[in-house]
């Protein structure tokens, strides 16, 4: 058995303070032991280690929209037009290159695990590729190539709105036609995964895209595969209004009515929820994934994060549209959005925000990581306290300084399953030119 040692000047081991002079012994991809030394070791990295960051909600291809959707103005619904145009141009080859570029960017930002909420399944006219899992395979290959840990959330998408209306032509490639066809394709996909760093989970796109009885099919498949279940919910008030008109229930109550609110469920956004919705979520043990930079970018509104926190709802974070790929930025935006909304400061504890950025994301995606403890997967990030982001680093306020000031630019080392994928010595991750090239080809 080969083991390795990572020694750092400081580490966040889960509490309100940083621990000094920490040595991690890593064996077979997991943290075997953690020792605190009296003094600094000669091999110690002059940095602060914390668990690998987790983006629990991503649509990798949206990265190619970055900066290109502002001119059109409008709202969330208008933004979907260029998004659909881009989705229409993807092929398995283009998508593999684009996703590898995005996953590489994520790793360079200290994101060691991604939850890829994936719905671009078939040919543009909706007919399957020769291999019906060609697009899904492209994403898994991209993850494998870069070394990121992935939960591929294969997403059921059947209708255009809550009233069951038929898909628009540009949505056809998202659909398997029936939830039964989707189930058998996802079963085959799950059975084909060989990488230790990949898992298949399931998702329903939203209450707009999946009728009630099909939501139950999604639930049954998550039960059968023992995997996470994710769904977009109440991102926009219009979804709530349409759901109330069609079912006389809010989207959250509709999900509860169909048995989907359980502890392995993650509700993405949950921005426009009622107090009754939040009580239902809290009682069920389901989590909420907040995506503050995307919610700001799309003009969704600011969600009730502090209300969820007070109810004990697990809160994870997602880079979602990847307009910004920086989970530390998502963490501080949760606090910032609540400061703007509630006009007070210090709403969330720094440790709770860092836990959302790490452990809660890993939990939402079904991984035993996001914590620096013996037995956990050795997904570890190190930041440089002398980087411009952090210079003058205040050790007394170490965790707060980390959450409120560090960015992806201060990341120096990234380990996934104990394997170094980024260090000052270099990396084989896609560089800026490769990312630019993949985006250019995606639009061609």
Q: Count of CB atoms within 10 A of residue 440's CB?
A: 10
C-alpha neighbours within 13 Å on the C-beta side of residue 359: 15
Q: Is 320 part of the annotated catalytic residue set?
A: yes
* Minimum distance from residue 357 beta carbon to Zn ion (Å): 18
* Min separation Cβ 88 and Zn ion, Å: 18
Task: State which residue, 320 or 335, has the beta carbon closest to Zn ion.
Answer: 320
**What backbone torsions phi and psi does residue 430 show, to the nearest 5 degrees?**
-55, 135
Query: SS3 of 248, please?
Result: coil
Tokens of 198: 């990949």
- Tokens 């969600």 identify what position? 303
Task: Kindly tell me which of 320 and 338 has the beta carbon lying closer to Zn ion.
Answer: 320
Identify the sign of the CA torsion 310, 316, 322, 326: positive
CB closer to Zn ion out of 318 and 417: 318
CB of 136 vs Zn ion, minimal distance in Å: 17
Between the alpha carbon of residue 160 and those of residues 105, 142, 163, the distances in Å are: 32, 29, 8
Query: Which DSSP letter does residue 62 get?
Result: G
CA quadruple 422, 39, 359, 329: dihedral positive or negative?
negative
The CB-of-376 to Zn ion minimum distance in angstroms stands at 27
**Nearer residue to Zn ion within complex by CB, 57 or 332:** 57
DSSP string of 153-220, one letter each residue: EEEE---SSTT-PPPPGGGGGG--SSHHHHHHHHHHHHHH---TTEEEEEEE--TTTS-HHHHHHHHH
Active site residue 336: no
Residues in Cβ contact with 420 at an 8 Å cutoff, skipping those fewer than 6 apart: 413, 414
Number of shown-chain residues binding Zn ion (CB under 5 A): 1
- Distance of closest approach, residue 228 Cβ to Zn ion, in angstroms: 15
Segment 291 to 350, residues that bind Zn ion, using CB under 5 A: 320
Give CA 403 to chain center in angstroms: 18
Catalytic residue among 9, 320, 384, 389: 320
320 vs 326, which CB is nearer to Zn ion? 320
CB nearest Zn ion: which residue?
320
Q: How far is the CB of 232 from Zn ion (least distance, A)?
A: 5
Taking alpha carbons only, the member of 119, 135, 142 closest to residue 189 is 135
- Cβ proximity to Zn ion: between 214 and 320 the closer is 320
Helices 350-357, 398-405: axis angle to 10 degrees equals 50
* Catalytic annotation, pick one of 10, 258, 269, 348: 269
User: Look-up: residue for tokens 């939960």?
Assistant: 151
Encoded one letter per residue, x for contact with Zn ion by CB under 5 A and - for no contact, window 28-47 reads --------------------
CB of 100 to Zn ion, least distance (A): 20
3-class DSSP state of 45: strand
**Plot region of 293 (φ>0 → left; ψ -120 to 50 → alpha; else → beta):** alpha
CB-nearer residue toward Zn ion: 96 or 320: 320
CA distance 354 to 400: 9
Q: Which of residues 189-218 bind Zn ion (CB under 5 A)?
A: none
Within residues 407-436, the interface with Zn ion by CB under 5 A covers: none
Which CB, 320 or 379, lies closer to Zn ion? Answer: 320
Of 94, 120, 116, 121, the closest CA to residue 106 belongs to 116
- CA 156 – CA 171 distance, rounded (Å): 12
Known catalytic residues are: 269, 320
Q: Which residues bind Zn ion (CB under 5 A)?
A: 320
């Amino acid at each position: 058995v080969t083991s390795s040692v990572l020694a750092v000047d400081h580490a966040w081991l889960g509490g309100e303070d940083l621990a000094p002079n920490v040595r991690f012994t890593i064996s077979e991809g997991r943290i075997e032991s953690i020792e605190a030394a009296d003094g600094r070791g000669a091999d110690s990295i002059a940095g602060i280690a914390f668990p690998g960051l987790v983006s629990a909600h991503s649509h990798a291809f949206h990265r190619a929209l970055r900066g290109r959707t502002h001119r059109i103005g409008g709202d969330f619904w208008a933004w979907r037009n260029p998004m659909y145009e881009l989705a229409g141009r993807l092929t398995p080859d283009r998508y593999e290159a684009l996703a590898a570029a995005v996953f590489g960017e994520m790793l360079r930002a200290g994101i060691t695990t991604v939850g890829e909420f994936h719905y671009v399944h078939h040919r543009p006219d909706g007919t399957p590729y020769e291999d019906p899992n060609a697009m899904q395979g492209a994403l898994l290959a991209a993850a494998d190539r870069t070394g990121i840990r992935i939960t591929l959330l294969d997403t059921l998408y059947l209708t255009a709105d809550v009233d069951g209306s038929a898909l628009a032509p540009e949505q056809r490639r998202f659909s398997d036609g029936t939830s039964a066809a989707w189930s058998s394709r996802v079963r085959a996909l799950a059975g084909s995964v060989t990488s230790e760093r990949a898992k298949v989970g399931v998702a329903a796109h939203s209450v707009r895209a999946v009728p009630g009885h099909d939501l139950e099919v999604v639930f049954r498949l998550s039960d059968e595969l023992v995997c996470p279940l994710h769904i977009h919910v109440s991102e926009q008030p219009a979804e709530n209004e349409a759901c109330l008109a069609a079912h006389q229930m809010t989207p959250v109550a509709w999900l509860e009515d169909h048995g989907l609110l359980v502890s392995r469920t993650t509700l993405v956004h949950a921005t426009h929820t009622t107090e009754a919705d939040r009580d239902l979520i809290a009682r069920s043990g389901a989590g909420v994934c907040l995506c503050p930079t995307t919610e700001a970018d799309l003009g969704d509104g600011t969600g009730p994060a502090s209300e969820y926190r007070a109810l004990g709802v697990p809160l994870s974070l997602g880079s979602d549209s990847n307009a910004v790929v920086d989970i530390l930025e998502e963490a501080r935006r949760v606090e910032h959005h609540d400061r703007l909304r509630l006009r007070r400061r210090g709403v969330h504890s720094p440790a709770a925000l860092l836990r959302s950025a790490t452990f809660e994301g890993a939990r939402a995606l079904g991984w035993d990581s996001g914590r620096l403890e013996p037995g956990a997967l050795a997904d570890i990030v190190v930041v440089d306290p002398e980087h411009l982001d952090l210079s003058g680093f205040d050790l007394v306020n170490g965790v707060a300084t980390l959450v409120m000031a560090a960015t992806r630019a201060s990341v120096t080392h990234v380990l996934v399953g104990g394997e170094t994928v980024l260090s000052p010595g270099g990396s084989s991750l896609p560089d800026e030119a490769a990312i630019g090239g993949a985006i250019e080809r995606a639009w061609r």
